[in-house]
């Protein structure tokens, strides 16, 4: 029999539970970051492709969600801080090696950009809207001229943002479940997929939904592939990673992960989308909601499960 116990100090309630320091705030933040990245990426993409008219929700209306998601996400991040008065310290330095610092700065760029993008469509969204100050009007006119450049920048930043939501976790090599570079692309794809889901839900155009739905199917398949890859990679690695993967393969997170993420969050909605392709009538909100829910659960589970994985010594 092997036995490991603390004979002093560390078995105390003030420390150990708090080593599990991230609760709901971080997964919410990661989820909303990914969602915003997805929305902005496709807005940029279709604008660049010149499909502004065709994909009107994607390019014009859905992006109104992005700044909201980002601000709420940032607020969740702020809630997570234990020393909140000093949050401004994030912006007195750039730490190249710290994903948290990268994220803070990326958001610093992405959030205003998402606001500006949305602002350029305010007039179209709200007929009769008046910017009141002439300077704003002039500014708007100037900015609209540069929409194409903005679209490119937005796509770039969206990819960085999406990848970042995964890299934030994968940078922690002390948590074997997170410590895999596949988390970057995986979270990016998942973020894009949730962004699409939200956009689809908003869209009233059958054509637009169909286009988005097809892209989404591909993304979900890629996501499933990446998840399998993640687990395979872990099972092929060291004992700590094997035990981390086993959290999802018989361990305590097995049911939540397979039911909420794999089945309800990915497989079921993709099946619905395929069925719709074959002409079955599926209310769009069902797959959309499931994808959004699955994306949130995925982040919740990854954050929670990752924190109980550790190196063995």
Site for other proteins in 220-239 (CB under 8 A): 238
Instruction: Collect all residues with Cβ–Cβ distance below 8 Å to 196 and sequence separation of at least 6.
Output: 38, 42, 212, 215, 216, 219, 291
Q: How far is CA 91 from CA 34, 83, 95, 125, 131, in A?
A: 22, 15, 10, 34, 31
For residue 299, the minimal CB distance to other proteins (Å) is 10
For residue 191, the minimal CB distance to other proteins (Å) is 18
206 touches other proteins (CB under 8 A): no
Which of 48, 224, 243, 282 touches other proteins (CB under 8 A)? Answer: 243
Q: By CB under 8 A, how many residues form the interface with other proteins?
A: 75
How far is the C-alpha of 44 from the C-alpha of 35, rounded, in Å? 14
How far is the C-alpha of 245 from the C-alpha of 243, rounded, in Å? 5
209 touches other proteins (CB under 8 A): no
Instruction: Collect all residues with Cβ–Cβ distance below 8 Å to 166 and sequence separation of at least 6.
Output: 183, 184, 185, 186, 187, 188
Applying CB under 8 A, the span of 114-122, 131-139, 167-175, 221-229 interacting with other proteins comes to 167-175
Closer Cβ to other proteins, 154 or 167, answer by number: 167
Applying CB under 8 A, the span of 64-72, 89-97, 108-116, 275-283 interacting with other proteins comes to 89-97
| Site map (CB under 8 A) of other proteins, residues 253-282, x = contact | x-xx---x----------------------
Which of 108, 174, 228, 236 touches other proteins (CB under 8 A)? Answer: 174
How far is the C-alpha of 260 from the C-alpha of 273, rounded, in Å? 18
Nearest to 114 by CA among 9, 212, 37, 193: 37
Site for other proteins in 9-28 (CB under 8 A): 9-10, 12-25, 27-28
Secondary structure element (H or E) that encloses residue 215, with its range: helix 206-235
Which of 153, 251, 268, 289 touches other proteins (CB under 8 A)? Answer: 251
4 touches other proteins (CB under 8 A): yes
Nearest to 55 by CA among 41, 75, 35: 41
Nearest to 294 by CA among 252, 271, 262: 262
Which of 51, 52, 54, 98 touches other proteins (CB under 8 A)? Answer: 98
């Amino acid at each position: 029999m092997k036995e490991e116990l603390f004979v002093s100090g560390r078995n105390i309630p003030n420390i150990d539970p708090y080593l599990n320091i991230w609760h709901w705030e971080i997964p919410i933040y990661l989820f909303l970051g990914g969602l915003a990245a997805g929305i902005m990426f496709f807005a940029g993409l279709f604008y660049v492709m010149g499909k502004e008219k065709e994909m009107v929700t994607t390019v014009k209306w859905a992006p109104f969600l992005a700044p909201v998601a980002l601000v709420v996400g940032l607020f969740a991040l702020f809630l997570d801080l234990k020393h909140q008065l000093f949050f401004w310290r994030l912006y007195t330095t750039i730490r190249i090696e710290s994903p948290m610092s990268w994220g803070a700065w990326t958001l610093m760029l992405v959030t205003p950009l998402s606001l500006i993008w949305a602002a350029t469509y305010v007039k179209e969204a709200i007929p009769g809207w008046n910017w009141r100050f002439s300077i704003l009007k002039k500014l708007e006119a100037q900015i609209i001229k540069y929409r194409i450049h903005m679209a490119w920048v937005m796509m770039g930043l969206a990819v960085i943002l999406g990848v970042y939501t995964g890299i934030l976790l994968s940078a922690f090599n002390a948590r074997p479940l997170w410590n895999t570079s596949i988390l970057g692309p995986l979270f990016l794809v998942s973020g894009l997929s949730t962004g699409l889901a939200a956009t689809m839900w908003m869209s009233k155009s059958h054509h637009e939904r169909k286009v988005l739905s097809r892209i989404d199917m591909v993304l979900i398949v890629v996501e499933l592939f990446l998840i399998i890859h993640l687990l395979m990679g872990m099972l092929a690695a060291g004992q700590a990673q094997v035990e981390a993967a086993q959290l999802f393969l018989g361990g305590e997170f097995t049911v939540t992960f397979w039911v909420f993420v794999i089945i309800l969050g990915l497989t079921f909605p993709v099946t619905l989308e395929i069925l719709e392709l074959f002409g079955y009538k599926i209310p769009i909100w069902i797959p959309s909601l499931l994808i959004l829910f699955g994306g949130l659960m995925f982040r919740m589970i990854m954050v929670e499960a990752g924190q109980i994985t550790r190196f063995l010594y």
